[in-house]
Structure 1
Amino acid sequence: MAKQQNHQFSGPVSVFQELRLPEQAQPVGYAALIDAYDLAVPLPLILCAIGRKHQIIEAQNWRLYTPRHAPAATLEGHLTFALKYEGVDLCVLKKLFETIDGAELAGLIQQKPNSAYLRRIWFLYEWLLGTQLELPNAKTGTYAHVVDPKLQWAVKGSTSTRHRVHNNLPGTPDFCPMVRRTSRLEQFVARQFDQEARAIVGRISQSILSRTAAFLLLKDSKSSYAIEGEAPPHDRIQRWGKAIGEAGRHPLDEEEFLRLQRLVIGKDTRFIQLGWRHEGGFVGEHELDTRLPLPEHISAKPEDLPTLIAGLIQFDQGVSDELDPVIAAAMLAFGFVYIHPFEDGNGRLHRYLIHHILSARGFNPPGMVFPISAAILDRIEDYRRVLESHSARILPLIEWRTTPSMNVDVTNDTADFYRYFDATPHAEFLFECVERTIEQDLPQEAEFLTRYDQFKSRIEAHTEMPASMIDLLFNFLRQNQGKFSNRARQKEFAALTDDEVVAFEEIYAEIFEG
């Protein structure tokens, strides 16, 4: 408690909360506030400090500013620095506001009523805590954006006359991830992938296009199960593929979430509780001998689910329309999977939500679904690292005990860890998956079907054969590097002459290997 009362900001250090700095430097902004007020929050992905050099250095998740950037070693100084250079970190700000004396903050605002930074802080205090400071409405000062759109993605939002600010936060107090404006995201958004996809589709014949769409849809459904380590019957894969194909047609509400979970789980629910969790949850393993939980991610507390789900629904039905579709999809989908509201089916529903946003916003070409799950499956380790970019940082902050059923029971307040997180890595990863589906999956699948049609026509022109036998013939050749195996010659295709075998192998080589 003494540390919080004295508000001591540390001097230059070489190690900050077990993290090494590139060189000795003085933590500032959010890092300084977290340290001085002993805030139990995940550290920002990019931390700031004042170095000794006269140029800004970025290394090892640190950004070292020059001595001339050094703020006053006060609450106001570090808050102002954070908003000016780091953007809005809602989780840190809320824990800070819960810790400081509101009267102290009100006094700072009264002293500088024209300060845009203090009016933004004032708004954020009341927005996050749902309580008003003992201050009259602002009468002077130019209207300022709560979120600096040069630092983070924001929306048009609404105006708060009390604080004389524009509330452009991309969410509500119940759910509001933030995404930083990185050069990589700027480049992705400028690419306009939706237009690239339409241009590719425009060059594909309608007959090939419809079959390409069906293949990609089935591929995505199968991949989504494979990510979870499951190999369900083909009818379940097809049923979930049909659901993905209809994504975006219905706005999200509680009934829609529950309907989707029933589709994911299927008919056999003997060992699974449908609906929202009534107990804790975690992702991980159990010790072999003791069966004690070994969590890699701990889900939101069941009593927090109503407001968290309401926040997801409000995000889907409100501000998501004002954000880039891929960024909005990343915020919604990864927010859902961190919350993990169901006992089972969370992973597939998380990836469904990506399709939901992209389809609802018309990002996909009509009738086409990007096989996002297939791209994720091919980059499964990158996917896990993205998930861990947040879950690994909140895990040490969650206090829990083991239940008699070898589950986890969270004993501290954790809801804000799921409401407010930095979704920048998630947005960048999702853009990479979209890029891959447009540059590889869509054109390659269409090219394959075009070549297959040529192969089929050439075989039919040479020898009368049913379509199912041509499919079998093709699969045998593909699996054996374009040659008939001895087994195929002796069994399924024993009726072929030697000349036909040679001709078919040449046709395959010409079309698929030429």
Structure 2
Amino acid sequence: MSVVGYEFLRQHLGLAALPPRRIAVIKPVTRIERSTDRVAIPATVAPSFDDPLAHLLFALKHEGTDLAILIEALGQIPASRLLAELARTPSGAYIRQACFLWEHANNANLDDAPPPSGTVTPLFDPDRYVTGPGQRNARWRVDFNGLGTLDYCATVERTDAVQAGLDADLPGRANHYAASLGGVMRDRALAWAYLHETRDSFAIEREAPSEDRARAFVALLHQAHERRPLDEDYLVDLQQATVSNAYDRAAGFRQEQNWLQGPLRGAAGITYVPPPPELVVDLMDGLMAFANHAPDEVPALVNAAIVSFGFVFIHPFMDGNGRLSRFLFHHALCRAGALQDGLILPVSVAMKKHEVEYLRTLQEFSRPVRERWKVEWLDEGRYAFDYRGDPRHGIYRYWDATEAVEFSFRMAEQALEVELRSEAEFLASYDAITRQVNERFDLRGSDLATLVLSAWDHQGKVSKRRRDQFRPRVPEAAFDFIEEVTTEALRNNL
């Protein structure tokens, strides 16, 4: 199989960058054909010789923009090669993009370059990618319109799933639905959302919060609507509020290596190695700059997914990163003004029900990154870590957030249309059931609540255990009537 473009660069130059989403290969086809993981290239279109710059320009034209591969590859391509190509085609969009990136990759200027011409070109094709505001480089007539900066940038392809999520306007639908509930019902549904978002965010970490910790996290979720910009001090405050062990509370971003570990013993059990500590401040500066400026330019749910997943991939603290990453999802939506009047989407509730999918989305990034590290077991709880990737740590700086965004759209849809809507419908049904029962029977409020909830959870049936428990003060006819009206309510909710 003859590879071309980005995969040729990876193999030919020995790059540490992760493979492209689709590998371009020469196939007996008459036109370029794209599938899930391949781009079939006709031999007549492919570069005709093993010249890295030719393959790089081919990739920019036909495969899109992969900053991790581009920056690492351009560090190995001599300036003379780019200058010669620029002299041949001074108005070429892709050679100008390559020159623009070469200067960043090599921290040097192409001083002898002939004056480029041609119309201004975006680095990321807006028809193919979700993009940010363009920052023009007048010299190369290139607009950098990535989701971040040249030092930290996520990429989101406009896949069918991403475009469908953008078109769905989930935040707008959530605001409209919450407003339709009316004040009292809306407040009750939101109280449920805050509590269960807290419970399930901890449950994903295999923890059950105490009442005090749950109350603190609920308060934290309410703070998301304050729209405070992210900085290290604020994130430290948030971390301290979510971690109960005083020894695990941070004073700043971590200054030591951490890792995630699975059930296996020794180095084989290390499932993910975040960036080394000396890189954390730099990467967090990039992520926080994006988080603070994206709300005006980037769709809110795309912004939230990048901030949430980007944070957990950097893992800036020794503990509490998972819960904080899910809080930052809400923070990003609120900072963008996407959710009104204290509304939240209980995405952690949805994630808890789709944990396998959540883990798979995280592993889409963590597994290949783990392969760039040599880990040596020293003794129990102690390891030596040796990074075998590129010196610029491009795998952490330039990451493909497409899967994370697609997953986030699915969870937001689930949070609105299943979790929040189901709870509001339950509350309306509960009110109707208790009203009907109270019109016929004089029961204690706590007894009635327990019996209705029990019947609701058991497909309309009051269990024998509950009947025996409450029979001394609840007439038999009341049990039967509770079953009747609850069954009818359940049927109406189908």
Normalising by structure 2, we get a TM-score of 0.92
Corresponding residue of 2:361: 386
**Which stretch of the first structure deviates more once superposed, 392-401 or 329-338?**
392-401
**Which stretch of the first structure deviates more once superposed, 226-235 or 298-307?**
226-235
> Which amino acid is the alignment partner of residue 68 of structure 2?
C
Distance 1:399 1:368, change over 3 A: same
Corresponding residue of 1:148: 125
The structural deviation recorded for 1:502 is 2.0
> Which amino acid is the alignment partner of residue 362 of structure 1?
G
Conserved? CA contact 2:373–2:385, under 8 Å: no
Q: 1:138 aligns with which of 96, 105, 115?
A: 115
The structural deviation recorded for 1:307 is 0.3
> Which amino acid is the alignment partner of residue 496 of structure 1?
V
Partners of 2:196 and 2:250 in 1: CA distance: 28
Q: 1:467 aligns with which of 445, 452, 457?
A: 445
Q: Secondary structure at the match of 2:75?
A: helix
Q: Does 1:51 align with 2:27?
A: yes
Partners of 1:259 and 1:128 in 2: CA distance: 36
Q: Does 1:157 align with 2:131?
A: no
Corresponding residue of 1:17: none
Conserved? CA contact 1:146–1:169, under 8 Å: yes
Q: Does 1:398 align with 2:398?
A: no
Across the aligned residues of Structure 1 and Structure 2, the Cα RMSD in angstroms comes to 2.2
Q: Secondary structure at the match of 2:400?
A: coil
Matches within 5 A, 1:184-195: 184-195=161-172
Distance 1:221 1:403, change over 3 A: same
Partners of 2:78 and 2:33 in 1: CA distance: 35
The structural deviation recorded for 1:196 is 2.1
For residues 58-77 of structure 1, the C-alpha deviation after alignment (integer angstroms, 9 at most, x for no partner) is 44611112334323432332
Partners of 1:463 and 1:235 in 2: CA distance: 38
Aligned residues between the structures:
487
For residues 213-244 of structure 1, the C-alpha deviation after alignment (integer angstroms, 9 at most, x for no partner) is 11111111111111111112133123212212
Q: 1:510 aligns with which of 462, 477, 488?
A: 488
Corresponding residue of 1:375: 350
Q: Secondary structure at the match of 1:49?
A: strand
Corresponding residue of 2:10: 34
Corresponding residue of 2:335: 360
Distance 1:286 1:481, change over 3 A: closer
Corresponding residue of 1:269: 246
Q: Does 1:179 align with 2:156?
A: yes
Partners of 1:237 and 1:137 in 2: CA distance: 63
Partners of 2:76 and 2:108 in 1: CA distance: 14
Gaps of 5+ in 1: 1-12, 14-25
Q: Secondary structure at the match of 1:246?
A: helix
Corresponding residue of 2:189: 212
Corresponding residue of 1:301: 276
Q: 1:228 aligns with which of 187, 193, 205?
A: 205
The structural deviation recorded for 1:388 is 1.3
Normalising by structure 1, we get a TM-score of 0.89
Distance 1:414 1:296, change over 3 A: farther
Q: Does 1:482 align with 2:460?
A: yes
Partners of 2:233 and 2:253 in 1: CA distance: 11
Corresponding residue of 2:38: 62
Partners of 2:267 and 2:263 in 1: CA distance: 5
Conserved? CA contact 2:26–2:41, under 8 Å: yes
Q: Does 1:255 align with 2:233?
A: yes
For residues 280-332 of structure 1, the C-alpha deviation after alignment (integer angstroms, 9 at most, x for no partner) is 111123644xx456211111101111101111111112245311111121222
> Which amino acid is the alignment partner of residue 37 of structure 2?
N
Partners of 1:127 and 1:457 in 2: CA distance: 69
Partners of 1:38 and 1:50 in 2: CA distance: 20
Partners of 2:241 and 2:158 in 1: CA distance: 37
For residues 112-137 of structure 1, the C-alpha deviation after alignment (integer angstroms, 9 at most, x for no partner) is 32211111111112234433222358
Conserved? CA contact 2:86–2:114, under 8 Å: no
Conserved? CA contact 2:271–2:367, under 8 Å: yes
Gaps of 5+ in 2: none
Distance 1:356 1:138, change over 3 A: farther
> Which amino acid is the alignment partner of residue 446 of structure 1?
A
Distance 1:278 1:376, change over 3 A: same
The structural deviation recorded for 1:33 is 1.1
Partners of 1:493 and 1:138 in 2: CA distance: 91
Q: Does 1:437 align with 2:415?
A: yes
Q: Secondary structure at the match of 1:362?
A: coil
For residues 73-96 of structure 1, the C-alpha deviation after alignment (integer angstroms, 9 at most, x for no partner) is 323321122111221111111211
Partners of 1:286 and 1:446 in 2: CA distance: 40
The structural deviation recorded for 1:251 is 0.8
Conserved? CA contact 1:42–1:397, under 8 Å: no
Partners of 2:321 and 2:377 in 1: CA distance: 22
Corresponding residue of 1:77: 54
Partners of 2:59 and 2:297 in 1: CA distance: 25
